[in-house]
Structure 1
């Protein structure tokens, strides 16, 4: 599991996918979500704007498993 550190209270899912290097653009993030390839805390997610907070776990098919962490 890879840890992705954020500097704010939360990060939106599409921004997270780019930060985690799973997709290069927001359009590709949208396609990935529509194909059902992303899970947030074990549940399939298709909303690009879903807010992710520290402690959330994200699984992306073909990219890996991640955890959101707050900057110390």
Structure 2
């Protein structure tokens, strides 16, 4: 079962998500993390830290887990 990441805005960026989900410690680590790890959003690989995540999106990071964006 995916972990839920609750947002109170229309969207968050992938970089913000990584920090909120406690996958990285600081926002500055996002570029490095995305260059070193595969990230799948709704089944498609995406490495753009500015990618907008909205309610209902499913984020899979192998070795870190599966997350659902909720409001």
TM-score (norm 1): 0.88
Contact 1:36 1:45 in 2 (8 A): no
| Alpha-carbon offset, residue 18 of structure 1 | 0.4
Instruction: Tell me, yes or no, if structure 1 residue 19 matches structure 2 residue 20.
Output: yes
The Cα RMSD (Å) is 1.1
Large movers: runs of 4+ above 6 Å: none
- Unaligned 5+ segments in structure 1 are none
Instruction: Report the count of equivalent residues.
Output: 70
| Alpha-carbon offset, residue 28 of structure 1 | 2.0
| Alpha-carbon offset, residue 64 of structure 1 | 0.5
Matched with 2:38 is 37
